[in-house]
C-alpha cells in the first residue's frame, strides 16, 4: 500500500464536506479582529459552541478511512485493523482542539507539516497497528490536512494579503490532485475490472436457443459452445473486406455500423464480442473493456441516453456504484473501450438523429476506442454514420453450411438422434419455402423445435410456422409435461394469445420494445373483466406472473420492465391484435415507419381477402409522404404479397407495377429495400442489357468518351452491381437464375459480388451456372471447402485463388491445379511452414491475411518463383534477411481486391 497514492485518491468532492463538519461556520467576532483566529477556536467539537459530538467525530473519521480503503480496490487490511485506523484518525484530528497556532501559521506550515505535527502530538494513536495500518493512517491524515488548510484560506477573508498567494497554490494543488485521480491508473482499477469481467461473462456468456427448453436439452447454451460465426458483407466503399466473418469486423475497422434483419444474430454477436474481451482468442479483443448498451433498455420510459460515466448504471449493472472515481475516463482515454450499441432501430424513428448526436460526443472525446452499432437494414439510410468514421456492413443470411452446423448442434444439445437432424436438413433442401425461411438463427431454432415437437411434420409458410410455435409454447408444452396442478392457474390457448397480444400491440402503438411492469399489470387488469373465466383464477398481478413464467414468450430484463423474447413475436401478435380490432387506418398511417414493417407484413397474413385489399391499396395510394417514403411503401407492399394467400388479381398487379418502377436499384439503400422485400423481388428484377464490351486501355491513357457516355456507362455498372448485391443476399435457389444473367459483366465490383456469394448456394449448380463463366482478370476465386476447390479445378483451374476455409496444405495441393496458380491469398490458418508452396511452379504473388501479431517469412526463401509477399498492416515480420533480393515484402490495406 502506498500512502501518498491512496491519500491522493480521496477527491475534494468527497473530503471537503467531511472536513467542514470539523469546524464552526461564521464564528461570532471572527471578522472583527485584526489578527488571525486560533485553530482551537474554530473547531466544532469543543468549547461553548460545540456542534459535533464525539460520536459524530468518529463517523467523519470512519468515512475518511472507508473511502481510502475503497480507493485501494480491495480490503488489504482485516476489518478489525480498519476499525483501529478509524480510532487513530479520530484521535489525531481531535488534537486540533488543543493547537496553539493560528490559521495563518497553519497555512504557512503546509499540509504535510501540519499532518506531521498532528501525528507527533498523537503518537499513542497508532500504537499496536501494523505497518500497513500506520501507512493508511498517515495517508488519510495527509489528505485531511490538505483540505483543512484549503478551508482556512477560504474563510480568512480578513487577511487577504497574507493568504492570497498561499490560497492560490493550495487550490491549484487540489485541482492537480483531482486531475490525477481521474487520469492516472488507480490501484482500484485492476480489481474492479476483474470483477466487471466476471459480471460480463455471467451476464452475456449464455445464449438462449429457441426450442431447447421444449426438449430434454438445456434451456441455455454456453456461448462459446453455441455461437455460430456468420459472415458480414462490406459495402461498396471498400472500408471493410467484401466478405468477412462478422466477429472480425472490428479487426478491420474501429467503427462499424452492422445491419441485419430480425433474428439474424445481431444481439448474439454483441454478446460474443463482449465476452471475447475476457479471454485470449483470435478476435484481438482481450483486455478491452466492453460496454453493452441495448438501446431498448436505455430509452425505457423515455429515459435520456446516458453519458459515458453512466454506461454501467444505465443498464442496471449491479457493481456500477463500485467503479473507482474516473475509471471510465481512464479506460476510454487509453483506447481500451469496446462500445457495443445494440438496436438503433429499437428507438422511434424521430429520436434517431438525437441518438446520433448523443453518439458523436463520446466519439469525439474518446476517439481511439472500438464502436459497433447494430440496426435492422431499413432503419437508417446508407452512410448514416459515415461522417463519423463508421464503415458499414450487412449480416449475410446463413449459408448451407451454417444451417447444417446449427441443426446438428441443436439436436445434439437437445439430446435428439442425428436421424432427426439429417431428416430436417433434407426437408430444408427439398422444400423451397422451408429453405427460404431457415436463413437466420431464430428461424432455424424455431424450425428445429417444431420438427422435433411434431415428429417430422412442418408447416409450409411463415405464418403457419409462427402459429404452430405459439401453440407449442403456450399450450402443448405445459399439457404434455404435466405442469398443471390442482388449484393452479389454467388459461386456454386462445385466452393466452388474447392477453399477450394486447401487451404486444400496446408496445407497438407506443413505440416501445420494453414495457414497464406496472403498465403491463394495469393493461391486464383492464382486459380481465371481459374474460371472466380467467379473471376468477387470480388478480391481474397473478395472471401477469403466470404469463411471464409459463408462456415462454415474455421475460423481465429488469425488475421494473417486461419485453418479448424476440421482437418478431411482438410484431406478429401485435399485428393480430390490430387486425382483430379493425385498426386498419392506424396501420396504413404508420406503414411508412420502419418499425412497423414486420407488423404490416404479418397484418396482411392475418387479414381476410377484403381486409388485405383495404390495407394494400391504402398503403400504395398514400400521398402524404416524401418520395423516399413512397418508395418504401411500394416495396413494403410488394413484400406483403408473400403473405397474401388470396388477393384480387388487379390489386396484386398494381402492387407489382409500382414496385417494378423502383427496379433496378441504383444505391445501396435501394438494394437493401429490395432485400427486405425478400424472394418475391427476384421476379421483378429485369434481364440486364448485354454486358458492355471490355475495354482495355494502355496504362495512363485517358478515357476520351463524351461525359454523357461515361455517365451512362457508370449508371449501368451501378445498376448491375446493386442488383447483384440484392440478389446475392436474398440467396434462395431462385436467385441463381438472376445472378447468372450478370456473369458476363467485366466490372470488378459485380464479379467480386458474384464470386463471393458461392458459399451461399449449391456448390455444383452455382459453380456451373456462375463461377465457371466469370472473367478471371484480376479476380480472386475464394474457396471455403474442398468441394469448391475441386470445382475450380474442373473448370480448368484459376490463376488467382483465395483460401477462406479450413484447409490443410495437403488438401490444397491435392485439389488445386498447380500449373495454373500465379496469385495465392491465404485468409485462413493453413500452417506456417510455407515450403509446400514450392509445388506451384508459377506462383509469384502471395498475400497472407493473419490475425497473428508476428509472422516469420524465412521459410518463403525457398519458394523461388515468388516475387511479392503482401501482409496486412500491424503484423511484425521476421526472417527478412533470409529472403533473396528478388522478393519484396509490402504492406497492404485490408482489402486489396
Residue 703 has what pLDDT? Answer: 67
Q: For 637-674, how does the pLDDT look when each residue is reduced to its tens digit (9 = 90+)? A: 988 988 898 999 999 999 988 888 888 898 888 888 88
Distance between CA atoms of residues 423 and 67, nearest Å: 64
Q: Which residue has the cell 523461388?
A: 864
Specify whether the CB–CB gap between 147 and 19 falls below 8 A: yes
Distance between CA atoms of residues 798 and 102, nearest Å: 92
Q: What is the CA radius of gyration of the chain?
A: 34
Question: What is the 8-class DSSP label of residue 240?
Answer: S
Distance between CA atoms of residues 140 and 827, nearest Å: 57
Closest CA to 97 of 160, 44, 166: 44
Question: Which cell numbers hold the place of 142?
Answer: 495527509
Specify whether the CB–CB gap between 854 and 875 falls below 8 A: yes
User: β-pairing, 888-892 with 868-872?
Assistant: parallel
Distance between CA atoms of residues 229 and 246, nearest Å: 7
Q: Measured at the alpha carbon of residue 861, what is the angle toward residues 855 and 862, in degrees to the nearest 5?
A: 125
Close Cβ partners of 817 (under 8 Å, ≥ 6 residues apart): 792, 793, 796, 797
For helices 597-606 and 609-620, give the axis angle rounded to 10 degrees: 150
Question: What is the 8-class DSSP label of residue 258?
Answer: E
Helix (H, G, I), strand (E, B) or coil at 218: coil
Report the residue count for the chain: 897
Backbone angles phi, psi at 133, to 5 degrees: -65, -40
Question: Which cell numbers hold the place of 136?
Answer: 493508511
Distance between CA atoms of residues 431 and 562, nearest Å: 37
Backbone angles phi, psi at 667, to 5 degrees: -140, 165
List C-alpha distances in Å: 367 to 248, 332, 364, 812: 20, 8, 5, 42
Return the H-helix or E-strand segment holding 42.
Answer: helix 39-42
Residue 298 has what pLDDT? Answer: 85
Close Cβ partners of 892 (under 8 Å, ≥ 6 residues apart): 847, 870, 871, 872, 873
Closest CA to 82 of 156, 6, 175, 192: 6
DSSP string, 424-471: HHHHHHH-HHHHHH-SSHHHHHHHHHHHHHTTT---SSHHHHHHHHHH
Q: Which residue has the cell 461525359?
A: 707
Close Cβ partners of 781 (under 8 Å, ≥ 6 residues apart): 755, 771, 774, 792, 798, 800, 801, 802
Return the H-helix or E-strand segment holding 753.
Answer: helix 748-756
Question: Which cell numbers hold the place of 552?
Answer: 415462454
Distance between CA atoms of residues 888 and 870, nearest Å: 8
* pTM of full prediction above 0.85: no
Return the H-helix or E-strand segment holding 97.
Answer: none
HEC per residue, 101-150? CEHHHHHHHCHHHHHHHHHHCCHHHHCCCCHHHHHHHHHHHHHHHHHHHH
Specify whether the CB–CB gap between 557 and 346 falls below 8 A: no
DSSP string, 45-72: SSSTT----HHHHHHHHHHHHHHHHHHT
List C-alpha distances in Å: 486 to 474, 480, 482, 533: 19, 16, 11, 16
Distance between CA atoms of residues 611 and 579, nearest Å: 8
Q: Is 347 left (phi over 0), alpha (psi -120 to 50) or beta?
A: beta
Close Cβ partners of 425 (under 8 Å, ≥ 6 residues apart): 403, 404, 407
The number of CA neighbours under 13 Å toward the Cβ of 427 is 22
558: β partners = 561
Residue 587 has what pLDDT? Answer: 96
For residue 74, how many other CB atoms are within 10 A of its CB? Answer: 14
Q: Measured at the alpha carbon of residue 439, what is the angle toward residues 435 and 440, in degrees to the nearest 5?
A: 145
Close Cβ partners of 380 (under 8 Å, ≥ 6 residues apart): 257, 344, 345, 352
Query: Using CA of residue 735, residue 737, residue 741, residue 745, what is the dihedral sign?
Result: positive
For residue 553, how many other CB atoms are within 10 A of its CB? Answer: 23
User: β-pairing, 554-558 with 561-564?
Assistant: antiparallel
Query: Using CA of residue 71, residue 75, residue 77, residue 82, what is the dihedral sign?
Result: positive
Closest CA to 671 of 685, 689, 657, 658: 685
Q: Which residues of the chain have pLDDT under 50?
A: 1-5, 7-8, 28-34, 74, 158, 161, 163, 214, 477, 479-486, 894-897
Distance between CA atoms of residues 756 and 505, nearest Å: 41
Question: Which cell numbers hold the place of 227?
Answer: 455461437
Amino acid at each position: 500500500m502506498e500512502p501518498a497514492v491512496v491519500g491522493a485518491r480521496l477527491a475534494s468532492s468527497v473530503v471537503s464536506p467531511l472536513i467542514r463538519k470539523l469546524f464552526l461556520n461564521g464564528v461570532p467576532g471572527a471578522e472583527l479582529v485584526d489578527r488571525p483566529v486560533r485553530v482551537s477556536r474554530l473547531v466544532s467539537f469543543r468549547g461553548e459552541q460545540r456542534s459535533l459530538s464525539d460520536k459524530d467525530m468518529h463517523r467523519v473519521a470512519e468515512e475518511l478511512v472507508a473511502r481510502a480503503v475503497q480507493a485501494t480496490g480491495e480490503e488489504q487490511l482485516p476489518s478489525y485493523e480498519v476499525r483501529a485506523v478509524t480510532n487513530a484518525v479520530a484521535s489525531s484530528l481531535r488534537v486540533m482542539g488543543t493547537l496553539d497556532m493560528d490559521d495563518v501559521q497553519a497555512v504557512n506550515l503546509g499540509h504535510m507539516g501540519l499532518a506531521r505535527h498532528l501525528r507527533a502530538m498523537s503518537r499513542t494513536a497508532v500504537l499496536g497497528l501494523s505497518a500497513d495500518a500506520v501507512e493508511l493512517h498517515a495517508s488519510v491524515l495527509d489528505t485531511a490536512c490538505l483540505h483543512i488548510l484549503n478551508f482556512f484560506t477560504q474563510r480568512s477573508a480578513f487577511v487577504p494579503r497574507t493568504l492570497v498567494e498561499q490560497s492560490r497554490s493550495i487550490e491549484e494543488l487540489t485541482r492537480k490532485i483531482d486531475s490525477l485521480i481521474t487520469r492516472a491508473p488507480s490501484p482500484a482499477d485492476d480489481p474492479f475490472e476483474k470483477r466487471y469481467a466476471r459480471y460480463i461473462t455471467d451476464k452475456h456468456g449464455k445464449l438462449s436457443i429457441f426450442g431447447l427448453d421444449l426438449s430434454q436439452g438445456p434451456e441455455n447454451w454456453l456461448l462459446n459452445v453455441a455461437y455460430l460465426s456468420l459472415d458480414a458483407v462490406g459495402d461498396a466503399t471498400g472500408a471493410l473486406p467484401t466478405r468477412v466473418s462478422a466477429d472480425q469486423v472490428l479487426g478491420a475497422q474501429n467503427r462499424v455500423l452492422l445491419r441485419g434483419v430480425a433474428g439474424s444474430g445481431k444481439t448474439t454477436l454483441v454478446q460474443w464480442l463482449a465476452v471475447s474481451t475476457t479471454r485470449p482468442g483470435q478476435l484481438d479483443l482481450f483486455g478491452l473493456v466492453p460496454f453493452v448498451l441495448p438501446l431498448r433498455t436505455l430509452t425505457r420510459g423515455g429515459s435520456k441516453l446516458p453519458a459515458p460515466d453512466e454506461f454501467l448504471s444505465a443498464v442496471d449493472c449491479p457493481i456500477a456504484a463500485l467503479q473507482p472515481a474516473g475509471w471510465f475516463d481512464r479506460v476510454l482515454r487509453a483506447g481500451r473501450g469496446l462500445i457495443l450499441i445494440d438496436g438503433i432501430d429499437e428507438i422511434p424513428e424521430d429520436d434517431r438523429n438525437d441518438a446520433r448526436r448523443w453518439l458523436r460526443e463520446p466519439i469525439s472525446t474518446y476517439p481511439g476506442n472500438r464502436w459497433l452499432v447494430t440496426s435492422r437494414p431499413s432503419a437508417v439510410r446508407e452512410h448514416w454514420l459515415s461522417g463519423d468514421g463508421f464503415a458499414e456492413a450487412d449480416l449475410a443470411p446463413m449459408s448451407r453450411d451454417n444451417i447444417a452446423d446449427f441443426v446438428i448442434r441443436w439436436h445434439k444439445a437437445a439430446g435428439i438422434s442425428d436421424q432427426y437432424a439429417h431428416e430436417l436438413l433434407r426437408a430444408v433442401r427439398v422444400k423451397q419455402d422451408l429453405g427460404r425461411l431457415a436463413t437466420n438463427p431464430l428461424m432455424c431454432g424455431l424450425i428445429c423445435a417444431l420438427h422435433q415437437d411434431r415428429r417430422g411434420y412442418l408447416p409450409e409458410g411463415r405464418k403457419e410456422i409462427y402459429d404452430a410455435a405459439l401453440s407449442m409454447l403456450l399450450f402443448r408444452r405445459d399439457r404434455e409435461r404435466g405442469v398443471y396442478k390442482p388449484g393452479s392457474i389454467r388459461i386456454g390457448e386462445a385466452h393466452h394469445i388474447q392477453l399477450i397480444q394486447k401487451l404486444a400491440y400496446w408496445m407497438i402503438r407506443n413505440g416501445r420494445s420494453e414495457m414497464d411492469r406496472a403498465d403491463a399489470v394495469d393493461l391486464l387488469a383492464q382486459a380481465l373483466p371481459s374474460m371472466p373465466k380467467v379473471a376468477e383464477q387470480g388478480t391481474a398481478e397473478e395472471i401477469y406472473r403466470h404469463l411471464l413464467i409459463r408462456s415462454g414468450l415474455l421475460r423481465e430484463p429488469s425488475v421494473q420492465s417486461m419485453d418479448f423474447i424476440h421482437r418478431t413475436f411482438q410484431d406478429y401478435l401485435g399485428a393480430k391484435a390490430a387486425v382483430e380490432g379493425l385498426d386498419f387506418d392506424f396501420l396504413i398511417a404508420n406503414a411508412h415507419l420502419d418499425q412497423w414493417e414486420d407488423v404490416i407484413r404479418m397484418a396482411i397474413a392475418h387479414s381476410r381477402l377484403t381486409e388485405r385489399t383495404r390495407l394494400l391499396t391504402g398503403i400504395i395510394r398514400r400521398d402524404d409522404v416524401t418520395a423516399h417514403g413512397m418508395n418504401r411503401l411500394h416495396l413494403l407492399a410488394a413484400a406483403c404479397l408473400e403473405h397474401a394467400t388470396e388477393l384480387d388479381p388487379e390489386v396484386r398487379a398494381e402492387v407489382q407495377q409500382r414496385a417494378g418502377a423502383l427496379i433496378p436499384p441504383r444505391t445501396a439503400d435501394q438494394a437493401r429495400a429490395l432485400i427486405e422485400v425478400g424472394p418475391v423481388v427476384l421476379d421483378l428484377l429485369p434481364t440486364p442489357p448485354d454486358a458492355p464490351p471490355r475495354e482495355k486501355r494502355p496504362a495512363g491513357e485517358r478515357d476520351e468518351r463524351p461525359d454523357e457516355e461515361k455517365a451512362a456507362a457508370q449508371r449501368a455498372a451501378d445498376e448491375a452491381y446493386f442488383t447483384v448485391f440484392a440478389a446475392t443476399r436474398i440467396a434462395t435457389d431462385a436467385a441463381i437464375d438472376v445472378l447468372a444473367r450478370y456473369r458476363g459483366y467485366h466490372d470488378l465490383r459485380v464479379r467480386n459480388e458474384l464470386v463471393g456469394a458461392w458459399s451461399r448456394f449449391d456448390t455444383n449448380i452455382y459453380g456451373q451456372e456462375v463461377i465457371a463463366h466469370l472473367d478471371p482478370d484480376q479476380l480472386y476465386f475464394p474457396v471455403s471447402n474442398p468441394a469448391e476447390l475441386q470445382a475450380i479445378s474442373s473448370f480448368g483451374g484459376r490463376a488467382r485463388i483465395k483460401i477462406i476455409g479450413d484447409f490443410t496444405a495437403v488438401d490444397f495441393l491435392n485439389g488445386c491445379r498447380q500449373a495454373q496458380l500465379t496469385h495465392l491469398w491465404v485468409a485462413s490458418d493453413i500452417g506456417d511452414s510455407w515450403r509446400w508452396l514450392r509445388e506451384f511452379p508459377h506462383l509469384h504473388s502471395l498475400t497472407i491475411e493473419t490475425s497473428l501479431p508476428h509472422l516469420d517469412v524465412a521459410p518463403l526463401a525457398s519458394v523461388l518463383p515468388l516475387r511479392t509477399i503482401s501482409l496486412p498492416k500491424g503484423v511484425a515480420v521476421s526472417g527478412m534477411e533470409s529472403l533473396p533480393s528478388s522478393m519484396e515484402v509490402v504492406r497492404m490495406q485490408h482489402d486489396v481486391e
